[in-house]
Amino acid sequence: KAGVTQTPRYLIKTRGQQVTLSCSPISGHRSVSWYQQTPGQGLQFLFEYFSETQRNKGNFPGRFSGRQFSNSRSEMNVSTLELGDSALYLCASSFSDRQGTQYFGPGTRLLVL
Amino acid sequence: GQQVMQIPQYQHVQEGEDFTTYCNSSTTLSNIQWYKQRPGGHPVFLIQLVKSGEVKKQKRLTFQFGEAKKNSSLHITATQTTDVGTYFCAGRGSGNTGKLIFGQGTTLQVKP
């Protein structure tokens, strides 16, 4: 099976802009979770979707939002970008709806200038 | 809210020495998972522990889940240069909607 894919792999934006990141899970996986990884904060949980419904949400401001489509593909949106949003954004898919084994994609590295 | 603390943050060892990373949760966990992230890569699942006091081995790696299901450890015997990377624990809270919370990771450097 193909692994989790994320697009784009790299992105440079300026403060105030918005960005949309995309994630395609492993075929058959219905759960998609998003994480932000920074050197100082480690892996921070953003949200989890299962069957198009948000199941869990981390402690991030409302500028961070996501959605999941009927084919399980997911998108994450960050509006009004801030310098501190520069990070590696990782998507992980899981077969079960209880954040079972997470299969991570390669990530999207976002740089906000 | 639920927090998962992991220590140490960094560890430098000589090849052949042992290595241990510890994970502690502020709340009881339903399960704990361990991941390894190589430099420049993404986290890769290693193992999941579910039962109180559970011990699992993978070759030179030994994983333990505490009796109270609030702590866990990963021990590597006789480290090799291929063990280099960051090891994360991830604890899932109890209940159907428990979140999977990652520890901050332990970065292991192995000197040949």
pLDDT in tens, B40-71: 999 999 999 999 999 999 999 999 999 999 99
B37: nearest CA partner in chain A: A104
CA angle B104, B110, B112 (to 5 degrees): 170
pLDDT tens for A78-91 read: 999 999 999 999 99
CA-wise closest residue to A33 among A45, A41, A22: A45
Chain A residues with CB under 8 Å of B104 CB are: 41-42
How far is C-alpha B78 from the chain's CA centre? 17
Report whether the peptide linkage leading into residue A39 is cis, meaning its omega lies within 30 degrees of zero: no
Is residue B96 predicted with pLDDT exceeding 60?
no
Residue pair A32/A48 in contact by the 8 Å Cβ criterion: yes
Helix (H, G, I), strand (E, B) or coil at B94: coil
Question: Which of B35, B45, B99 lies closest to A45 in CB terms?
Answer: B99
Question: Which of A43, A98, A100 lies closest to B88 in CB terms?
Answer: A43
- The pLDDT confidence band at residue B104, using thresholds 50, 70 and 90, is very high
CA distance A11 to chain B (A): 16
Span B20-30, mean pLDDT? 94
Please give the torsion angle defined by the CA atoms of residues B9, B15, B17 and B19, in that order, rounded to the nearest 10 degrees: 30
Numbered residues of chain B with Cβ closer than 8 Å to any chain A Cβ: 1, 33, 35, 41-45, 48, 88, 90, 92, 96-105
pLDDT at A99: 58
Helix (H, G, I), strand (E, B) or coil at B89: strand
Distance separating alpha carbons of residues A19 and A103, to the nearest angstrom: 23
Question: Which of A99, A104, A107 lies closest to B100 in CB terms?
Answer: A99
